[in-house]
Amino acid sequence: MGAWALVMLSQATAQAAPLPADPLQRECWLGSTRDRTRVNFREPTGVDFSNLGKRQRVRSPFQVDFAIRGMGVVPAGKPLEGAGHHHILIDTALPTDIRAGIPFSDTHKHFGKGQTGTTLDLPPGRHRLRLLFADHE
């Protein structure tokens, strides 16, 4: 039986260019995301957790789904303007200099394969999750 955790959420937004005008490039871009992450051009760019609310109680392990607006999801190392991949920061602050890179650690989860969700198993207690979106580098 899993343990209960209180998850405190905050979100990070990122600025990006709209989807490419080329139909093939656009199709590939949208094809790498789940239906719920399709771009809505009427919304500003941003990322958030689509299935969790602030101060929500969950039982570990639990599913975390990522939502994205105005950008595309691609694997790390695939340079495409306005696209990138997700990171979850667990109980840690946002980096002060994003150009320095995001470390690989238990508190910095990288989703460089273009994933739009994961399962987390956290110990009991309060936890703060931050979703960060970054480009291919």
Indicate the domain borders of the chain: 4-134
Q: Is 14 exposed, middle or buried (0-12, 13-18, 19+ CB in 10 A)?
A: middle
Asked if pLDDT for residue 17 goes beyond 50, the answer is no
Q: What does pLDDT average to over the chain?
A: 73
* DSSP summary character for residue 112: T
pTM, entire model: 0.67
* DSSP summary character for residue 76: T
Q: Are 12 and 130 within 8 A, CB to CB?
A: yes
Lowest mean pLDDT among 2-6, 104-108, 127-131: 2-6
Backbone angles phi, psi at 80, to 5 degrees: -150, 120
Give the 3-state secondary structure of residue 32: coil
Give the 3-state secondary structure of residue 130: strand
Higher pLDDT among residues 80 and 117, named by residue: 117
30/39 Cα distance (integer angstroms) = 8
Asked if pLDDT for residue 62 goes beyond 60, the answer is yes
Give mean pLDDT, residues 39-50.
70
Give the 3-state secondary structure of residue 35: helix
Asked if pLDDT for residue 11 goes beyond 60, the answer is no
CA 53: distance to chain centroid?
15
Q: Are 39 and 71 within 8 A, CB to CB?
A: yes
Give mean pLDDT, residues 77-90.
84
Per-residue pLDDT band at 76 (split at 50, 70, 90): confident
Token couple for 130: 């931050």
91/123 Cα distance (integer angstroms) = 12
Residue 27: predicted pLDDT: 55
Asked if pLDDT for residue 10 goes beyond 70, the answer is no
Higher pLDDT among residues 30 and 84, named by residue: 84
